[in-house]
Structure 1
Amino acid sequence: MELSNKLLKYIDNQLKQCDYNNDEIHLLYIYSQSFLFNNIDQGIDDNFLQNHRSEIMGKKMSVRKIRNLLDSLENRKILVTVKKSPLKRVLTDEFFKSIDMDIS
């Protein structure tokens, strides 16, 4: 678990150096936690966002605003919609390249 914490800290620091706004950083941080602690193939769906939006953003944010952020990240090839479930999105390799992290 200690290694996971170090990795999360690394991701956090790397994200802050990238071309993301603060809301995107919070969202991507949650996705990176999902990558580490769950199966990233599960993605994060709208129900999760609805239930955890205050934790995710540190403030209440409408699910629509979060969806708009997700859309912009998907347009930038940072997230991809899972074909089996259109509400779920997962991180792409481009995300890990953008934070200079080897995922292999």
Structure 2
Amino acid sequence: MKKILLACSAGMSTTLLVSRMREEAKVRGIDAEIWAVTQDQAPSEMEQADVLLIGPQMKFLKEKLSKIADELETPLDVIDPKAYGRVDGKGVLDQALALITK
């Protein structure tokens, strides 16, 4: 099972994105747990995740979260702003899967 964590400022703007990513994973037959949290919850939730993607509005936190992610050996990246703005579940799922398989 792939465990994909998304984090954004309040945890609300990623809710629809998570739904679309789950739909896409189901269509592809990918066993995935995908969930979203607030920026404050991200460090503790990262322990359960295979990858962390943060919302573009949180780009300023990437360095801070990367330190934790490096210790946990959890890949981390900023969600592509275009995919985020389009709520592109397929594109963001592809981004997460690519990071997991690196």
Give the TM-score normalised by structure 1: 0.34
Higher relative contact order (CA 8 A, sep 6+): 2
More helix by share: 1
Give the TM-score normalised by structure 2: 0.34
> If you compute each CA radius of gyration, which structure gives the higher value, 1 or 2?
1
